Structure 1
Amino acid sequence: MPGMPEVLALTVISFTGYSALLPVAPMWAVEGGADEVGAGLVNGVLLLVTILTQLSMPRLLRNFGWRWTLVSAALLLGLPAGALALNSDLWFVLLVSAIRGVGFGIITVGATSLIAQLVEPARQGKAIGAFGLAIAVPQVLFTPAGPWVAKTVGFETVFAIGTLPVLGAWLAWRLAGKAKAVPKTSGEPAPFRNLARPMVIMFGLTVCGGGILTFMPQMVALPTESLAALLLLTLTAALTRWLAGTLADTYGARRFLWPSIVITTVGMLLVGFAVREPEATNLVALLVGAVIVGVSYGALQTFTLSVSLQSVKPQHYNSASTVWNVGFDAGTGVGSVLVGAIAAGTSFSVAMYVGAALSLLTLPLAFGVRRA
């Protein structure tokens, strides 16, 4: 549909730069002398600024319009990545992460809002699925490869990949001409009560996903086990996030919410069982659990975004996109912190069980979502 190729291309370019630096920026801070706490702050600052920017998106669009907001986002996400080569001090890496967080926050909310505008409701599920695939493929390819490239080829190569979002500036310029202008006055308030349920469901899911993606290398005995589990999870998530769009359009996304939550819970329990003894990982249970979590991690992202857009009127698509993205990023960040804190006091197995319980607690919410 008109505008969708540009949305998907901008998404691929942006998430390529984002994914490559996600594990490498903390490594660069360690090269500059930072400890584990400092390294953890790098993506923490990125995530915090991302969320604050997402919450500011309606105001940014009203004040500056789509063109300057989107173009600035591409530049803010890409240009600072090249500057990392100049300095590895922690303060400088944190500053770069904060600037990039502004760009990333705008891109994530802007892309989902544009999909809602450009695609008719009957086909939004497929569009969201394609959007999810455009996010997932760069993550599958560049997140695992980034550290290897940094160590074998050099950090500068990864920094160069991180600047790729700059190329999206011209796509952003073209897209802005297809977007609907945001009125200066907010008008009828968005029904945030309708958006709260899918957001909390997303939050519970990404708490689980954030914990696994962050700590899988520490949970298992061998690096190959971690690589296999993460690869299966991300590949499965990429496929199901795409295919779930067709299911959402054909049968409605709401009916798939509760099965997806149950699937998440089962997968987390299996992963927790597999890592009871870090020096003797139950590999079969780990890989099966990773696939099961991957199924729900991909599909539920598509289903909750589809439900969020269906829960509001077209003039509130920007608000729906903002709330959904905040739930996603906040859950990922909380998952990383929560799993680490629980594992420090007990074990990673207990942390996975807690994640399963948190996911299951969102189950009643799946039966109360509303349509605009």
Structure 2
Amino acid sequence: MTTISTRPAPADTPAPGRARPRLLTAAVLRLYLLDLAAMSGFYLLLSVVPMLAAERGMGGLGAGLPTGVLMFASVAAELATPWLAARLGYRRLLVLGLVLLGAPAAVLPAVTGLGGLIAVSVVRGLGFAIVVVAVGTMVTWAVPEQRRGEGLGLLGVVAMLPAVVVLPLGVWLAHRVGFVVVCVAAAVVVLAAAPLVPAVRGAAGDTVGSAGSAGAGHLTGPGGPALLRPVVVFGVTAVASGVVVAFLPTAVAAAVAVPALFAQSAAATAVRWLAGRYCDRRPAAGLLAPAVVLTGAGMALAACTGRPAVVVAGMAVFGAGFGLAQAASLNAMLQRARPGQYGTVNAAWNAAYDVGWGAGSVGGGALVAAAGHPTAFAVTAAVTLLAVPAARRARR
């Protein structure tokens, strides 16, 4: 039996004929530029650091460990960011995050041992987490509430562009001009964004600056389950995403993996923005169940590794589902949260993303080793679809 949600549409939905408030204010544009610079510096080195470790004879463990440590440090810092913001304010904290993410990149070429590489990765992971949570929270406050879903969807587009363009560019540059140039460029790109932070002013900027010290908020209490259910559902889809990113390139030929991953990224980016616009007019939690179904269906199609067209189509379906899950979960939490909880909501959502991605990489690796890629993908699809009842409950 289909459950009909009785939750009304957001109260701030503009009446027919009423002009919608401006989305791209100076404060919002500066925050988008900040995020673009930070993500560019992050993705520029994401594949370069393992290459650097391998070149210096650190072996397979040395090549993979820095990235794993970076993500672990990111999760820890994401959960602590609202607490830090309550004491420092989001502007000061964002400057600190940019420095922690950017400055250590410049010293990477001088690092010779695995311990030093891990230390640099930990510091950069802390900075990365602070930046993504701080920018997400500041955008949540800076955009007009009537267009918050669209504004966050555009932030997702901005964050994905470096993954599509800068990630392969870093590898290409490392081969052509060397590690020193790439590492210094990553540091410069990130640190050059720091002067933009004090300029995030105006009405939205004043709110951003003061709200960070008003308290971090909590996701516990009488309304806690309503806030936590969407992020748990999203975490399940993030596990599937971790499996895709880690193991699709080894499951099929490069001629199939490249268009499949592009289709996944393009679909996720487009659908996240469109779903954000939808969430400005309707309760976002209603999209969670379709998101899980699409994600699981795409994963099931990807299990047909011997059929290239099916794999590419499956990745497009998967990307649409994952982009829908991203927008639906974050907006569902924000629609139910108080302004003082926005920082904690963004922290919990980003932590679920990173934990799910890591769990998918580890769990998927065990499945691939035991049963092969098609079985691993099929099992992941089945586990993902088990979250449909939870997604339906999250609508209430």
TM-score for both structures, normalised by structure 2: 0.87
Q: Which residue of 2 aligns with 1:143?
A: 167
Contact 1:198/1:324 (8 A) holds in 2: no
Matched, 1:100 2:124: yes
> Are the counterparts in 1 of residues 66 and 118 from structure 2 also a CA contact under 8 Å?
yes
Aligned residue runs from structure 1 range 81-120, under 5 A:
81-120=105-144
Structure number, greater radius of gyration: 2
Q: Which amino acid aligns with 2:294?
A: I
Counterpart pick for 1:350 among 375, 379, 387: 375
**C-alpha displacement of 1:89:** 2.6
Q: Distance in 2 between matches of 1:208 and 1:88?
A: 35
The runs of 5 or more residues in structure 1 that have no matched partner are 275-280
Q: Give the Cα separation in 2 of the matches to 1:345 and 1:48.
A: 25
Post-superposition CA distance 1:51-101 (Å, at most 9, x none) = 111111122112222232110111111111121111243222211110011
Select which of 182, 194, 200 maps to 2:232.
200
Task: Quote the residue 1:53 is aligned against.
Answer: 77
In the alignment, the residues of structure 1 paired with residue 314 and residue 100 of structure 2 have an alpha-carbon distance, to the nearest angstrom, of 38
Deviation at 1:329, TM superposition (A): 0.9
User: Is 1:80 matched up with 2:97?
Assistant: no
Give distance in 2, aligned partners of 1:186 and 1:60: 8
2:34 aligned counterpart, secondary structure: helix
Counterpart amino acid of 2:387? Answer: T
Aligned to 2:254: 223
AA matched with 1:27 = M
Bigger drift between 45-54 and 33-42 goes to: 33-42
CA distance in 1, matches of 2:310, 2:214: 54
CA shift, 1:148, in A, is 2.6
How high is the sequence identity, in percent, across the aligned residues?
A: 32
| Partner residue of 2:272 out of 220, 225, 241 | 241
**Residues 1-372 of structure 1 aligned to structure 2 (within 5 Å):** 1=23, 2=25, 3-163=27-187, 164-175=189-200, 178=206, 179=208, 180-183=210-213, 190=220, 191-220=223-252, 222-274=253-305, 281-369=306-394
Other structure's SS at 1:250 match: coil
> Over residues 155-198 of structure 1, what are the superposed CA-to-partner deviations in whole Å (9 max), with x where a residue is unaligned?
23331342211112112233375313344666777543222211
Indicate conservation of the 8 Å contact 1:202/1:327, yes or no: yes
Compared with structure 1, are the counterparts of its residues 258 and 282 closer, same or farther at alpha carbon in structure 2 (3 Å cutoff)? same
What amino acid maps onto 2:211 in structure 1?
A
After TM superposition, give the deviation of residue 351 of structure 1 in Å: 1.4
Query: Is the CA contact 2:214–2:340 (under 8 Å) kept in the aligned structure 1?
Result: no
User: SS at the partner of 2:303?
Assistant: helix
**Residues paired across the two proteins, number:** 364
Q: Which runs of 5+ in 2 are unaligned?
A: 1-22
SS at match of 2:311: helix
**Given that residues 217 and 341 in structure 2 are in contact (C-alpha distance below 8 angstroms), is that contact kept between their aligned partners in structure 1?**
no
- CA, structure 1 residues 212+52, in 2 after alignment: closer, same or farther (shift >3 Å)? same
